[in-house]
Structure 1
Amino acid sequence: MTLERYGHGGDLQTAAETFGGSPEHFLDYSSNMNPFGPPPSVERVLRERWRDIAGYPDPAVRELRGKLAAHYGIPAESILVGNGAAELIDLLVRVLKPGVTALAQPAFVEYEEAVAHAGGDVHTIPLRAGDDFTLQSQPLEHALAVSDLVFLGHPNNPSGALVPQPLLELAASSEGAMLALDEAFLDFVPEERQLTWMRRAAASPRLFVVRSMTKFYAIPGVRLGFLVAHPDRIRELKERQVPWSVNAFAQWIGCAVLDEAGYAARTLRWLQDERPWFAAALGGLGLRVVPGAAANFLLCRLPDELAGRVPELQRRLGGRGVLIRDASRFAGLDKSWLRLAVKLRADNERLLAALGETLQAMRDEPHPKEDGR
């Protein structure tokens, strides 16, 4: 049984069914949430507002849209809040109905799933390991010429690579394809305010930005994201959105966490130090670590002598209570690639110890080569 049976990491129930034990037993490096956990305001909302669920949530999500508008300096009428970024990705593709959508792959699997749901075709923009999975100009230019929509991760998942600014300008100025940017992890990047395209999207009918609030604030169980676009586009999307998509607790929690300036600053300080330390330690074990940006995850490749053995590594570590992401589930990557979250130092040291011992055990044992590696 693969741990990514539903196409994602963080499936602790499947881990428990596969390896035994309870879900809380596992050290989960397969999903990449803020390791500080939800900020204190989340507990406060749950404790103080539980009686308020006797009433319906605001169908227009007015308070949260207003706070997001003030927080990012964009008009409230350019914001659509949704049940996680996944809902908004699917909604956007269904409404735009692109015949051909260009995807820079490897990428978040739900882009391709959304295209399939809408009956469209995918044009693949290959991202190469030799370029550290950074988008290049020539394949992008071709994609803009043959596609109706270009969907890019900024930074990309699983590589963590940002789209170079000149290429964003090129795509945004295209008279052909529309541009959608998934900025789900951009708030982990210190230069977020300089790098985000939300303000541009609010003024352009051909540009869309999708954001997640669940990663940075460690609230994936709430399901909360938002999309920024021209007000005309927002009205068009809202008409097709499922009614009552955003529940009351999600709205209240979203408003609360936006006031957590101390939590946000602490997260950025921690990641700025921990990510390079963790990357260097993984490199010391023989893994190739993709540089990426400053997202809270790392894409790694096994050393050549262990190529193709990530599924085995995942099983061995799972038996020790440690979960990793088999990155071969991302288009364009084989079974030599894994993705790891960045966590707090004590957890990272535990992962490194288990990983180092397991890699050595795999080196010491003969292993037949697998076809299609």
Structure 2
Amino acid sequence: MRIKRLLVWQVPLTSHAPYHMAGGKTCDTVTSILLRVDTDESISGWGEVCPIPHYLPAYAEGVRPALEYIAPIVIGADPIGPEALMGQVDSWLQGHVYAKSALDLALWDITGKRAKLPLYALLGGRQMARIPLYHSITCIAPDEMAVIAGEAQAEGMAQFQVKLGADNNWEADVARLRLVREAVGMGPLVYGDWNCGASRLDATRVGNAIAAYDIMLEQPCATLEECAAVRAATGLPMKIDENAHDTASLLRAYDLGCMDAVALKLSKSGGLSATRRLRDLCLHLGPRMCIEDTWGSDVITGAVLHLAASTPSSRIMNTCDLSGYVVPRLDPYAPARSSGHIAPPEGLGIGVNPDLEGVGQPAAIID
């Protein structure tokens, strides 16, 4: 089997409601890059990557040029066993892991289809029937966020990510966390996420003010050292996100003692191949894992769910149904949340089949 061509679509995904984070980051309508890798044996694989603007070193407009640049390595190559080809791609184009992640997903999709197996069977075997979800709450007025939390809890959600810092007001962030906790009661997991947008001082003040409310903090500051200082000053558990992207960064966070939980995102690390290696490292180091991606629709969500479902349940904190936050859905039959949980697709490979009528003509054909 050989790769024959790459087809690239640019799909605008619109959030059901504007999604605000610290530092002026907002998801309203964001471009997702959809990739199809065709082979000479009539088996195609799907990939997707959807960078959030100003969030990580990634932007949607960079994906297509990167794919065109690596085309001499990819076209004509054997897609089965993604790590082999991805190793050659990494040698040809250093960095740009977000752009490579879409290709890696598509290679895994082809490999699963050729093996006639769902991806979770190739990533460690299915260990969870359904994976717990968290509900992410946009950073708006504290009382409005509490209402959203209550509504999500009524639908079965038991884990809540409270976005913080959009107004650079630490006292408002205290109110956000306090009101959400009061809305859902003690027991459900509640954590406040600044997306690197807080100073060490303000994050410490917030943490100390809500210490009695059983709250976890997520990536308050821009560096691991600052996050570790906040954890030490507050005594609250810490989840690392933006600073956890490869083996070295996970080991550093572990050494600093600030990685009680960690967000493993496919595009942040370079796809399923790289993220699986980080997942396995975390099984050794011990943090609870959120396995997800930055943003996107059904292809990304499907790939995330396969990796999460093949991870021991005792080590999974949660995952995210990214496609549930946006329109359009690329595959109307793809998995959806139910009572705070979600199951991986049951088809071969990723098991997601985008509706081409819905995405229109490809923006590029690379052959």
Q: TM-score, normalised by structure 1?
A: 0.31
- Structure with bigger helix share is 1
TM-score (norm 2): 0.31
